[in-house]
Amino acid sequence: MDLHLDSHLGDGYKSNSQKMRVITEAWAGDNVFCPYCGSSVSHFENNRPVADFYCHECAEEYELKSLGRVIGDKINDGAYETLIKRIKSSNNPNFLFLHYDKDSLKVKDLIVVPKYFFSPSIVEKRNPLSQEARRAGYVGCLILLGQIPSDGRIEVIRDGIPYPKRDVIEKLYRTKFVRDFDVESRGWVLDIMNCINRLEKKRFTLSEIYGFESFLADKHPTNNNIRAKIRQQLQVLRDKGFIAFEQRGIYKKLM
Ligand SMILES: [Zn+2]
Protein backbone atom coordinates (compact mmCIF):
# COMPACT_ATOMS: atom_id res chain seq x y z
CA MET A 1 0.00 0.00 0.00
CA ASP A 2 1.52 3.31 -1.14
CA LEU A 3 0.76 5.99 1.44
CA HIS A 4 1.84 8.98 -0.66
CA LEU A 5 -0.88 11.30 -1.89
CA ASP A 6 -0.58 12.70 -5.42
CA SER A 7 -0.72 16.46 -4.90
CA HIS A 8 -0.90 17.21 -8.65
CA LEU A 9 -4.43 15.83 -8.76
CA GLY A 10 -5.48 18.88 -6.77
CA ASP A 11 -4.18 21.36 -9.36
CA GLY A 12 -6.87 23.71 -10.52
CA TYR A 13 -8.98 23.54 -7.39
CA LYS A 14 -9.29 26.79 -5.50
CA SER A 15 -10.39 25.68 -2.06
CA ASN A 16 -8.03 23.55 -0.03
CA SER A 17 -10.81 21.31 1.25
CA GLN A 18 -11.97 20.56 -2.31
CA LYS A 19 -8.39 19.89 -3.35
CA MET A 20 -7.74 17.47 -0.49
CA ARG A 21 -11.04 15.74 -1.15
CA VAL A 22 -10.06 15.04 -4.75
CA ILE A 23 -6.54 13.92 -3.76
CA THR A 24 -7.62 11.61 -0.93
CA GLU A 25 -10.49 10.13 -2.94
CA ALA A 26 -8.07 9.25 -5.74
CA TRP A 27 -5.75 7.62 -3.21
CA ALA A 28 -8.60 5.62 -1.66
CA GLY A 29 -9.76 4.43 -5.08
CA ASP A 30 -6.28 3.05 -5.76
CA ASN A 31 -5.42 1.67 -2.33
CA VAL A 32 -8.44 0.90 -0.15
CA PHE A 33 -9.79 -2.63 -0.10
CA CYS A 34 -13.25 -3.72 0.98
CA PRO A 35 -12.88 -4.95 4.57
CA TYR A 36 -15.81 -7.34 4.12
CA CYS A 37 -14.33 -9.35 1.27
CA GLY A 38 -10.88 -7.96 0.43
CA SER A 39 -11.73 -6.80 -3.11
CA SER A 40 -10.86 -3.36 -4.42
CA VAL A 41 -13.30 -0.48 -4.20
CA SER A 42 -14.31 1.96 -6.94
CA HIS A 43 -15.40 5.53 -6.96
CA PHE A 44 -19.02 6.16 -7.96
CA GLU A 45 -19.06 7.84 -11.35
CA ASN A 46 -21.36 10.68 -10.44
CA ASN A 47 -21.35 12.55 -7.22
CA ARG A 48 -23.91 10.38 -5.48
CA PRO A 49 -25.34 11.87 -2.32
CA VAL A 50 -25.23 8.60 -0.41
CA ALA A 51 -21.73 7.20 -0.81
CA ASP A 52 -18.33 7.69 -2.42
CA PHE A 53 -17.15 4.14 -3.11
CA TYR A 54 -18.55 0.69 -3.66
CA CYS A 55 -17.13 -2.82 -3.70
CA HIS A 56 -17.26 -4.75 -6.98
CA GLU A 57 -17.67 -8.08 -5.25
CA CYS A 58 -20.08 -7.60 -2.39
CA ALA A 59 -21.58 -4.17 -3.27
CA GLU A 60 -20.88 -2.64 0.15
CA GLU A 61 -20.82 1.15 -0.02
CA TYR A 62 -18.33 3.50 1.62
CA GLU A 63 -18.16 7.14 2.50
CA LEU A 64 -14.75 8.71 2.96
CA LYS A 65 -14.09 11.48 5.44
CA SER A 66 -10.60 12.94 5.15
CA LEU A 67 -9.05 15.00 7.90
CA GLY A 68 -5.85 16.98 8.03
CA ARG A 69 -5.58 16.25 11.75
CA VAL A 70 -5.65 13.27 14.10
CA ILE A 71 -8.99 11.44 14.03
CA GLY A 72 -10.67 12.63 17.23
CA ASP A 73 -13.73 11.62 19.22
CA LYS A 74 -16.01 14.06 17.41
CA ILE A 75 -16.04 14.47 13.62
CA ASN A 76 -17.80 17.32 11.90
CA ASP A 77 -20.32 16.13 9.33
CA GLY A 78 -22.95 17.69 7.07
CA ALA A 79 -26.65 18.24 7.69
CA TYR A 80 -28.08 16.53 10.77
CA GLU A 81 -31.34 15.33 9.17
CA THR A 82 -29.50 13.94 6.13
CA LEU A 83 -27.16 11.78 8.21
CA ILE A 84 -29.98 10.50 10.47
CA LYS A 85 -32.03 9.57 7.42
CA ARG A 86 -29.08 7.69 5.94
CA ILE A 87 -28.30 5.82 9.14
CA LYS A 88 -31.90 4.62 9.21
CA SER A 89 -31.97 3.64 5.54
CA SER A 90 -31.37 0.13 4.27
CA ASN A 91 -28.32 1.08 2.19
CA ASN A 92 -26.50 3.20 4.77
CA PRO A 93 -22.80 3.35 3.96
CA ASN A 94 -19.78 2.18 5.90
CA PHE A 95 -17.49 5.01 6.89
CA LEU A 96 -13.78 5.46 6.24
CA PHE A 97 -11.99 8.07 8.35
CA LEU A 98 -8.65 9.09 6.91
CA HIS A 99 -6.00 11.25 8.54
CA TYR A 100 -3.31 12.67 6.25
CA ASP A 101 -0.24 14.60 7.22
CA LYS A 102 -0.52 18.07 5.71
CA ASP A 103 3.22 18.59 5.31
CA SER A 104 4.43 15.28 3.94
CA LEU A 105 1.11 14.55 2.15
CA LYS A 106 1.13 10.99 3.38
CA VAL A 107 -1.72 8.96 4.80
CA LYS A 108 -1.14 8.50 8.54
CA ASP A 109 -4.26 6.74 9.81
CA LEU A 110 -7.25 5.02 8.28
CA ILE A 111 -10.17 3.64 10.25
CA VAL A 112 -13.20 1.80 8.90
CA VAL A 113 -16.46 1.83 10.85
CA PRO A 114 -18.95 -0.80 9.63
CA LYS A 115 -22.37 0.67 8.90
CA TYR A 116 -24.10 -1.31 11.64
CA PHE A 117 -22.16 0.57 14.32
CA PHE A 118 -24.05 3.72 13.47
CA SER A 119 -27.16 4.61 15.43
CA PRO A 120 -28.88 7.98 15.86
CA SER A 121 -27.48 8.21 19.39
CA ILE A 122 -23.94 8.74 18.07
CA VAL A 123 -24.99 11.79 16.04
CA GLU A 124 -24.96 15.11 17.87
CA LYS A 125 -27.14 17.90 16.59
CA ARG A 126 -25.43 21.28 16.36
CA ASN A 127 -27.15 24.59 17.03
CA PRO A 128 -28.84 26.08 13.95
CA LEU A 129 -26.79 28.74 12.17
CA SER A 130 -27.79 32.29 13.13
CA GLN A 131 -30.07 34.49 11.05
CA GLU A 132 -27.06 36.49 9.91
CA ALA A 133 -25.32 33.43 8.44
CA ARG A 134 -25.40 32.76 4.73
CA ARG A 135 -27.16 29.46 5.37
CA ALA A 136 -29.37 30.69 8.20
CA GLY A 137 -31.15 27.94 10.11
CA TYR A 138 -28.91 25.17 8.76
CA VAL A 139 -28.42 22.40 11.32
CA GLY A 140 -25.14 20.52 11.07
CA CYS A 141 -23.99 17.56 13.13
CA LEU A 142 -21.07 15.82 14.76
CA ILE A 143 -20.34 12.10 14.51
CA LEU A 144 -19.47 10.97 18.04
CA LEU A 145 -16.78 8.53 16.97
CA GLY A 146 -15.56 8.14 20.56
CA GLN A 147 -18.93 6.63 21.50
CA ILE A 148 -18.66 3.83 18.97
CA PRO A 149 -17.29 0.71 20.72
CA SER A 150 -13.60 0.20 19.94
CA ASP A 151 -14.53 -3.11 18.23
CA GLY A 152 -16.34 -1.03 15.61
CA ARG A 153 -13.43 1.34 14.92
CA ILE A 154 -11.28 -0.99 12.85
CA GLU A 155 -7.80 0.28 12.12
CA VAL A 156 -6.53 -0.25 8.58
CA ILE A 157 -3.49 2.05 8.90
CA ARG A 158 -2.05 3.27 12.17
CA ASP A 159 0.63 5.94 12.37
CA GLY A 160 1.76 5.27 8.81
CA ILE A 161 1.80 1.48 9.08
CA PRO A 162 -0.86 -0.61 7.30
CA TYR A 163 -2.26 -3.69 9.04
CA PRO A 164 -2.29 -6.96 7.09
CA LYS A 165 -5.46 -7.25 5.03
CA ARG A 166 -6.47 -10.54 6.63
CA ASP A 167 -6.32 -8.99 10.12
CA VAL A 168 -8.66 -6.19 9.08
CA ILE A 169 -11.12 -8.60 7.46
CA GLU A 170 -11.05 -10.86 10.51
CA LYS A 171 -11.63 -7.98 12.92
CA LEU A 172 -14.62 -6.84 10.93
CA TYR A 173 -15.96 -10.37 10.67
CA ARG A 174 -16.02 -10.68 14.46
CA THR A 175 -18.36 -7.69 14.74
CA LYS A 176 -20.92 -8.93 12.23
CA PHE A 177 -23.36 -10.01 14.95
CA VAL A 178 -24.20 -6.33 15.53
CA ARG A 179 -25.83 -6.37 12.10
CA ASP A 180 -28.62 -8.60 13.41
CA PHE A 181 -30.09 -5.73 15.41
CA ASP A 182 -32.32 -3.10 13.88
CA VAL A 183 -31.27 0.50 14.20
CA GLU A 184 -33.59 1.10 17.18
CA SER A 185 -32.38 -1.75 19.40
CA ARG A 186 -28.77 -1.34 18.28
CA GLY A 187 -28.22 1.74 20.47
CA TRP A 188 -28.50 -0.31 23.66
CA VAL A 189 -26.29 -3.13 22.46
CA LEU A 190 -23.56 -0.69 21.44
CA ASP A 191 -23.83 1.24 24.71
CA ILE A 192 -23.31 -1.91 26.76
CA MET A 193 -20.40 -3.01 24.54
CA ASN A 194 -18.91 0.41 25.21
CA CYS A 195 -19.30 0.05 28.97
CA ILE A 196 -17.60 -3.36 28.85
CA ASN A 197 -14.74 -1.97 26.77
CA ARG A 198 -14.26 0.96 29.11
CA LEU A 199 -13.45 -1.43 31.93
CA GLU A 200 -10.42 -2.46 29.86
CA LYS A 201 -10.20 -5.99 31.19
CA LYS A 202 -11.22 -9.47 30.16
CA ARG A 203 -13.14 -10.38 33.31
CA PHE A 204 -15.73 -8.08 34.82
CA THR A 205 -18.64 -8.17 37.21
CA LEU A 206 -22.26 -7.19 36.93
CA SER A 207 -21.79 -4.54 39.61
CA GLU A 208 -19.02 -2.96 37.54
CA ILE A 209 -21.47 -2.57 34.66
CA TYR A 210 -24.08 -1.22 37.10
CA GLY A 211 -21.48 1.48 37.75
CA PHE A 212 -22.50 2.97 34.38
CA GLU A 213 -26.15 3.25 35.47
CA SER A 214 -26.32 7.04 35.61
CA PHE A 215 -24.43 7.37 32.30
CA LEU A 216 -26.92 5.00 30.64
CA ALA A 217 -29.89 6.72 32.29
CA ASP A 218 -28.78 10.01 30.75
CA LYS A 219 -28.61 8.40 27.31
CA HIS A 220 -31.95 6.64 27.67
CA PRO A 221 -34.16 8.99 29.69
CA THR A 222 -37.38 7.11 28.94
CA ASN A 223 -36.14 3.84 30.45
CA ASN A 224 -37.11 3.44 34.10
CA ASN A 225 -35.32 0.20 34.83
CA ILE A 226 -31.75 0.55 33.67
CA ARG A 227 -30.42 -2.39 35.71
CA ALA A 228 -32.94 -4.82 34.20
CA LYS A 229 -32.01 -3.53 30.73
CA ILE A 230 -28.30 -4.04 31.50
CA ARG A 231 -28.93 -7.67 32.50
CA GLN A 232 -31.04 -8.26 29.38
CA GLN A 233 -28.38 -6.78 27.08
CA LEU A 234 -25.64 -8.85 28.73
CA GLN A 235 -27.70 -11.94 27.86
CA VAL A 236 -28.01 -10.72 24.29
CA LEU A 237 -24.23 -10.22 24.08
CA ARG A 238 -23.69 -13.67 25.54
CA ASP A 239 -25.99 -15.24 22.95
CA LYS A 240 -23.99 -13.48 20.22
CA GLY A 241 -20.66 -14.74 21.56
CA PHE A 242 -19.31 -11.33 22.58
CA ILE A 243 -19.09 -12.34 26.25
CA ALA A 244 -19.47 -15.51 28.31
CA PHE A 245 -21.07 -15.96 31.74
CA GLU A 246 -18.45 -17.49 33.99
CA GLN A 247 -20.37 -17.66 37.23
CA ARG A 248 -23.05 -15.68 39.00
CA GLY A 249 -22.33 -11.99 38.35
CA ILE A 250 -18.99 -12.63 36.64
CA TYR A 251 -18.47 -12.30 32.90
CA LYS A 252 -15.65 -12.73 30.44
CA LYS A 253 -15.13 -10.77 27.25
CA LEU A 254 -14.49 -13.15 24.36
CA MET A 255 -13.67 -10.74 21.53
ZN1 LIG B 1 -16.57 -6.37 -0.68
If you measure from the C-alpha of residue 230 to the centroid of ligand 1, how many angstroms do you get, rounded to a whole number? 34
If you measure from the C-alpha of residue 51 to the centroid of ligand 1, how many angstroms do you get, rounded to a whole number? 15
How many helices (H) and strands (E) would you count in the chain?
A: 7, 13
CA–CA separation, 120 and 253 (whole Å): 26
Q: What is the mean pLDDT of residues 146-164?
A: 96
Helix (H) / strand (E) element for 205: namely: strand 203-205
Q: Which protein residues have a CB closer than 5 Å to ligand 1 (ion)?
A: 34, 36-37, 39, 55, 57-58
* ∠ CA 251-253-255, rounded to 5°: 160
Please say if the pLDDT value at position 182 is more than 90: no
- Report pLDDT for 255: 79
Please say if the pLDDT value at position 48 is more than 70: no
| Per-residue model confidence as pLDDT tens digits over 89-120 | 888 899 999 999 999 999 999 999 999 999 88
Quick one: DSSP state of residue 40? B
- Report pLDDT for 178: 93
Helix (H) / strand (E) element for 18: namely: helix 16-31
Please say if the pLDDT value at position 124 is more than 90: yes
Q: Where in the chain is the domain with CATH 3.40.210.30?
A: 7-175
Q: What is the mean pLDDT of residues 158-165?
A: 97
184-253 carries CATH number 1.20.1250.20: no
Contact 42, 2 (CB under 8 A): no
CA-closest candidate to residue 193, choices 117, 95, 93, 110:
117
Q: Residue 11 to residues 3, 30, 52: CA-CA distances in angstroms?
A: 19, 19, 21
The rounded mean pLDDT for the chain is 93
Q: What is the mean pLDDT of residues 75-95?
A: 90
If you measure from the C-alpha of residue 41 to the centroid of ligand 1, how many angstroms do you get, rounded to a whole number? 8
If you measure from the C-alpha of residue 136 to the centroid of ligand 1, how many angstroms do you get, rounded to a whole number? 40
If you measure from the C-alpha of residue 48 to the centroid of ligand 1, how many angstroms do you get, rounded to a whole number? 19
If you measure from the C-alpha of residue 29 to the centroid of ligand 1, how many angstroms do you get, rounded to a whole number? 14
Residue 47 banded pLDDT, cuts 50, 70, 90: low
Count of CB atoms situated within 10 Å of the CB of 88: 14
Contact 100, 69 (CB under 8 A): no
Q: What is the mean pLDDT of residues 214-219?
A: 93
- Report pLDDT for 50: 55
Please say if the pLDDT value at position 215 is more than 60: yes
If you measure from the C-alpha of residue 129 to the centroid of ligand 1, how many angstroms do you get, rounded to a whole number? 39
Lowest mean pLDDT across 57-66, 154-163, 176-185, 220-229: 176-185
CA-closest candidate to residue 126, choices 84, 72, 63, 170:
84
- Report pLDDT for 49: 55
Beta strands in 68-172 (DSSP E): 75-79, 94-101, 106-113, 123-125, 140-143, 154-158, 161-162
| Per-residue model confidence as pLDDT tens digits over 128-151 | 999 898 889 999 999 999 999 999
Measured torsion, CA atoms of residues 140, 146, 147, 153, in degrees rounded to the nearest 10: 110
Greater model confidence, 250 or 17: 250
Contact 24, 100 (CB under 8 A): yes
Residues in CB range of 186: below 8 A, 6 or more apart? 116, 119, 178
CATH number of 7-175, picked from 3.60.15.10, 3.40.50.300, 3.40.210.30, 3.40.50.150: 3.40.210.30
CA atoms within 13 A on the CB side of 82: 12
Q: Where in the chain is the domain with CATH 1.10.10.10?
A: 184-253
If you measure from the C-alpha of residue 90 to the centroid of ligand 1, how many angstroms do you get, rounded to a whole number? 17
